[in-house]
Amino acid sequence: MREVCIVGVGMSQWGEVWRMSLRDLHTQAALRAIAAAGVDHLDSLYVGCMTGGLFVGQEHLASLLTDYMGMAGLPAVRVESACASGGMAVRQAFIDVGSGTSDIVMASGVEKMTDCSGGDATYALATAADQEYEVFNGATFPGLYAMMATAHMAKYGTTREMLSAVAVKNHHNGSMNPDAQYPFKVSAEQVAKSVMVADPLHILDCSPITDGAAAVIVTTVDIAKKLGKPYVKIIGSGAGTDTIQLAQRDDMTTIKAATIAADRAFKMAGKTIADVNLVEVHDCFTIAEIVVAESIGRYKPGKAGPAILAGETALDGKFPMNTSGGLKSKGHPVGATGVAQVIEIYKQLTGQAENGRQVAGSPKVGMTQNMGGSGGSSVVHIMEVA
């Protein structure tokens, strides 16, 4: 397998973007990535999108998006794995380049989530859960993650203060991210006193509904060197699945799919979690960050919450986590999130993180963890400075 790297990245505007359509958001991110990489062509495109059909009535993205990029004829395919769609698109691009089938590939993600009613958005997102046994009986993702939080609290003594610490940290980081949807700080008191959504989760425990796109250029190390642009190598990629239904799992206080994906990525990379300097994890809810930090092996079960509360995962901590602000502050356009995570690690490893958000000490190895639904699917990438 050839050495594979990321050589250019691009983000669209993120937030409630009323004046741009799905195709506009994607084109903006794609052209920015192409310009940053300095490439003169693409061999193929993989675009992550959870459900453009339900959010804006638009499927057949391969044709639509290549057309609006000015690249009609380019081989392209949409990749879907619920909220892990973007990360899976990066994985497909990695495999395409690594196998030698293509030399220069774009991996992108896009979602336009605010052009429909709140009820329609809830319905669209709920398609990532078990329709017959969860959704039919009234379960929503806040409800499912609330059950995970309640179980984690009962089993390990996780507290309200630990959940709040996740939101406080991520909003602090997001306040320095020019691409963040909610670039403002919050206090632990504000989180704990915000509107209750599903006990024990309040509104400030939850990631927002977001419009946005993200794109990266994936190529070989040899081509990246010729381009003369900053690049980072993708040294490991892993994916895994678990039951879609939360009730069918052996233990709802862990994300088995994330563990499987991380183990496979580490095996490919020849690394362990101890070699990783920073990570972007899928904090769709504050409890998700705590559970994932344990599931990927950084902390033993029940120990992530206290570590986050103690500042270990802060920007200046031992193990910085979600330096971008995470889904919580940066936003969560579900199809684009996994690609944006890769962009943050690329920026950190190449020293390009903005506004004082750069991790000190020249980090060498970074990691992303992206997942779908309540953790029914997950994908992990390990990246290293060239």
- Nearest Cα to Cα of residue 331 among 248, 234, 212, 232: 212
CB atoms within 10 A of CB 263: 16
Beta bridge partners of 370: 379
As to burial, measured by CB atoms within 10 angstroms (0-12 exposed, 13-18 middle, 19+ buried), residue 350 is middle
Contact 283, 322 (CB under 8 A): yes
- Active-site residue list: 83, 332
